[in-house]
Amino acid sequence: MSDEISREHQRLIIEKLYRSGDSITSTDHFNKKYASSIGHMGESSMDVHDFARKMKGTEFSSYDVERFTKSITGKNIDLEKL
């Protein structure tokens, strides 16, 4: 199993975090808010640990980020241990 999260999976996770039905719009909104501090998401694959570190710098709960990441990618991350 790869240790990367695809851009499509990143977009789906962000869509779920915003409780939206549109991953493109959700990702655009996310990037407008966070790109200056954590960089752009949903544009290319990235290491699962880099993804977790970036998501820790957002307003979303660790529980939701971990849960949606697991349900979409099958990968376990633990934001509290970073």
With a CB cutoff of 8 Å and minimum separation 6, the contacts of 35 are 41
Q: What distance in Å separates the CA atoms of residue 79 and residue 63, rounded to the nearest whole number?
A: 8
In the predicted structure, residue 1 carries a pLDDT above the cut 50: no
Instruction: Give per-residue pLDDT as tens, 36-62.
Output: 999 999 999 999 999 999 999 999 999
Q: Is 42 helix (H, G, I), strand (E, B) or coil?
A: coil
If you average pLDDT over residues 29-37, what whole number do you get? 97
- What is the pTM (predicted TM-score) of this model? 0.93
Chain-wide mean pLDDT for the chain? Answer: 95
If you average pLDDT over residues 14-41, what whole number do you get? 97
> Hey, how many other C-beta atoms are within 10 angstroms of the C-beta on 48?
19
> Hey, how many other C-beta atoms are within 10 angstroms of the C-beta on 71?
11
Q: In what helix (H) or strand (E) does residue 48 lie, and over which residues does it extend?
A: helix 48-56
In the predicted structure, residue 2 carries a pLDDT above the cut 80: no
